[in-house]
Amino acid sequence: MEWGDVEAAERLGVPRDALKQLVEVFHQCSGLRSDARGDADGPGDASTFARWVPGGVERYKKALMDLLPDAATRKWFRDRFGTWGDGLRGLYVPDGPIPHSNDDITELQSCHPHPHVAQLRFVPPPDGPAAAGAANRQRPRGRGAPARPAAPRASKTSAQAAWQEQRTRLYRRVSKSIKERAQAAMAGSNEASFRELAQWLADQRVADAAAARRSPTVPCAVVLTGAVGSADHTECFRALVQSLRARPDVCVPLHIGPHDLSPTRTAAGLQPAVSAISLQLATAAAAEAGSSAPFADHEHATFTSVVAAWRRLRAAHGAETTPRGDQRPPCLAIVIEDVEGASPGLVCDLVLALADHRAQLPCALVMSMSTQARGLAEVLSARTLSLLSLARFQLSPPLARVEALLRDVLLSGDPHTVHLGHAVAAKLNSVFMVSEFAPGALLKALDAAVWDHFQGNDLARLAQVLLDGRDAALADITSSPCSSVLAVHCEGMLGEVGEELDDRAASKERERGVLGAAAEAVEEAHAAFRMWALALRWAADAGAVLGLGEKHGLTLRQLVLSASHKSFAAARPAHRAAGADSAAATAALVLGGLRRAQEAGGSALGSQGSQGPSQDSQGPEHVERILAAWSATAESVLGADAAADNAFVDCARRLLGEARGEPPVPADAVTAAALTQAAPSSGRGPASPVLKFFSRGLSRGLKMVQSVSQLAHKSLTAGSPHAKGASPRPADAGSPAKPALSLPEKVARLLQVLLEHVCREPPHARGAAAALCVRDTRMLDQIRTPDMRARVFAALRGDDGGGGGIEDLTTAYRLLAQHPAARTTGVNTARWLQEFCVAHGLRVGGSAGKVPGGRKGKKRGAGGMSTSGLTQEELAACFSRAERTLQMLGVVRPVKRRHVEFSVAAAQPWDLNPTDE
């Protein structure tokens, strides 16, 4: 349950203390326990699920009446947090029943894989209905009959529950870090636009009414969010309002939501919008004066009360002096969210009213739009547009926000993140580029994939090694009762299955050794992922400096998708894509961009009539900018200490010194620096537990390193044989020597060697990568599936011709709906099952006779086969699954009369809209 949106509650006049008290009263009355963090943002890790306690509804009503005397505020709070009678219904599962036992909780968790649902626990009250039911079950039956104990319910063992709780807690840590850094990254991409908007609002401030009369038009800023998806639009708007609230000396943002100017509320006129402005102005004036906001009746507010609240706010600012040294109060910024969805008539009336009260209420409009600026002409009339002084502000496009998400979250080198396999990266790319085109939707899909990774992959528990350190994590894991199960998975991951040991102490010691080796393998996989992220970000940095982006395949989104495939390091990859589809092609693109920059610099110098420098020094600013960006990226991804010891980073820094006028770096020195990083040091032996566990992997890794070293030597000295335009190798030793590599060629070769080094065998292919890399796409396929209710109704109507795995649902519902009593008294479920079997060509019961598909005089029994190839037991299982699914969808309602089960059709398919929730 999300208690959030505290800012919206305060905007409606709900004090923060009153909101906290209501949350605590709701917890006490409903049996929902929380860790009482005090920030009024919802229950924490210790949340439980239970019924309403006796008298809780009345107590909650009284607290609501005492703390929220305003009727409008009570209605908003009741709509936001649920009704009294249903209690917790709808807060977790909108269409589901309230769980009343551990079995219901388990069933709910299997149907709804959500982190909030996973942490539910049933705690029945001691004197509630559950206790009464247990007492009734234990009551003696008959005179003198002994009491029968209650039948135990099946539930998870304590060890499994603790193991599940640890994995859920680990998911929360990673998911919270990803969300916070993603929001900061996407908001940071709009900082420049937010600063420009704040500066524009500061210029719109006026000192007195005379100054307002001199500017009869109303200033209006049209902010193009560039977000088509609703989730992304909401996030952009929230960041916009927060940026304006961070500047109280410049403006006071007054929010008008979509519901205040909705076309469905045209009959109310401007009253909802004026009421919202009056309430927020009164709250801001009271906060400025240091007092609490009065609970006044704002439902019937007028512009007179709005002007009075503005004067109180101005009086509070009268004694203050801004940094400029003047006495101008902050500007009133009336922010209208989603202008395209508002009523055009109400927006025009609001603009006309503000223009009429311009002298008494100097303000500025901020209109948030998801489409183009010219769409404003379709909303407002020509007369209304003549009263506006328009200014246009553009936020970062969705592609730029996705790049920021990948750069600062997934490829940041932080241990509080996950990595994406090739299949998952392709699915997420499809979600963003084909389905939604909104970073918000992409982030939600990523969160679902992370949840499935931690809940369905036992090796994901090893991610704690990177979060808490090896010693602390191993101590926590080995103390868990299920550590032996994890050790078995780790043995399979390491490729080493030893002999069974009879001694328990020896087995425990072996378990510690296996877990220790797996922890070291996870650390090595994390280091490999960091080098992989460094290579991709270096390629993207070079593309950004040279202007090579989406068209050339050098964006982070395209590089993550291409470089996660094993064929990226090959000269001719198996998947032929446009642009940087291999390491050699990426280096060729960078080298071509540097050469074009050199030619452009040389032509510019020649046009000025001056003598240009040598070819190696033409356009050196591009090379210098690329190398400087590489150095900063290495410190961000690897850290300052690790970057100082990295041979690739050291080589890039030496090349940066050459670009700044230092002595040139010989090609042999560059080769030696690259080979130092590519090959292991000679004094290093197989001393770690990982190397002891699988010698076959060590020999295979050494062969890979040797091939990479040979390729690096060939690329840096004689040129890559697969590179475009590469010169052939000299036929003999007497052939003339090749000219020395230029600085751009050294930069391109260094990038190629790094990409081939990290992508020839990507870190995703390592065994230990299963703990850090999301590879399963089942959850992504589920969230991309259309609503099941809509699919059922569409199939029943014949819109899509059935199919899609719901034939049993449609067949079962058609058989039920054809009965006259289907919507009144219902149909016997046993009869419904028989008709379901007959519809599949299997006759159940009845006298002997002619059966379709069978001989006359014989009837098919329980062991017969239907025309679909299913037995009676299999058809019964299909019917049971279809019946239960229809019940969960709300299409069929079960009824029991005289110990006989009936099924009632809740609605006909032609009475419902398939798009309704």
Domains of the chain, by residue range, sit at 6-131, 190-395, 565-725+742-761, 786-911
Q: What pLDDT score does 55 carry? A: 52
Q: What pLDDT score does 731 carry? A: 43
Question: Using 50, 70 and 90 to split pLDDT, how confident is the model at 866?
Answer: low
pLDDT digits (tens, 9 = 90+) for 127-159: 433 344 444 444 444 544 444 444 444 344 566
Question: Using 50, 70 and 90 to split pLDDT, how confident is the model at 588?
Answer: confident
- Find the mean pLDDT for residues 227-236: 63
Contact 868, 837 (CB under 8 A): no
Question: Using 50, 70 and 90 to split pLDDT, how confident is the model at 50?
Answer: very low
- Find the mean pLDDT for residues 574-595: 71
Q: Flag whether pLDDT at 250 surpasses 70.
A: yes
pTM of the model: 0.60
Q: What pLDDT score does 103 carry? A: 56
Question: Using 50, 70 and 90 to split pLDDT, how confident is the model at 64?
Answer: low
Q: Flag whether pLDDT at 488 surpasses 60.
A: yes
Out of 228-237, 536-545, 718-727, pick the least confident. 718-727
As a whole number of angstroms, the longest Cα–Cα distance in the chain is 118
CA distances from 489 to 90, 167, 495, 521, 692 (A): 39, 15, 10, 13, 18
Q: Flag whether pLDDT at 501 surpasses 70.
A: no
Contact 753, 677 (CB under 8 A): no
Task: Look up residue 47 and give its two tokens.
Answer: 């949340």
The answer for 371, left when phi > 0, alpha when psi is -120 to 50, beta otherwise, is beta
Contact 583, 569 (CB under 8 A): yes
Q: Flag whether pLDDT at 718 surpasses 70.
A: no
Q: Flag whether pLDDT at 862 surpasses 70.
A: no
Q: Flag whether pLDDT at 112 surpasses 60.
A: no
Question: Using 50, 70 and 90 to split pLDDT, how confident is the model at 431?
Answer: confident
CA distances from 31 to 20, 38, 71, 109 (A): 16, 18, 26, 20
Out of 48-62, 228-242, 584-598, 836-850, pick the least confident. 48-62
**How would you classify the pairing of strands 218-224 and 363-369?**
parallel
Q: What pLDDT score does 321 carry? A: 43
Question: Using 50, 70 and 90 to split pLDDT, how confident is the model at 27?
Answer: low
Task: Give CATH superfamily name and number for 190-395.
Answer: P-loop containing nucleotide triphosphate hydrolases (3.40.50.300)
Q: Flag whether pLDDT at 765 surpasses 70.
A: yes
Q: How many helices (H) and strands (E) does the chain have?
A: 37, 10
Question: Using 50, 70 and 90 to split pLDDT, how confident is the model at 538?
Answer: very high
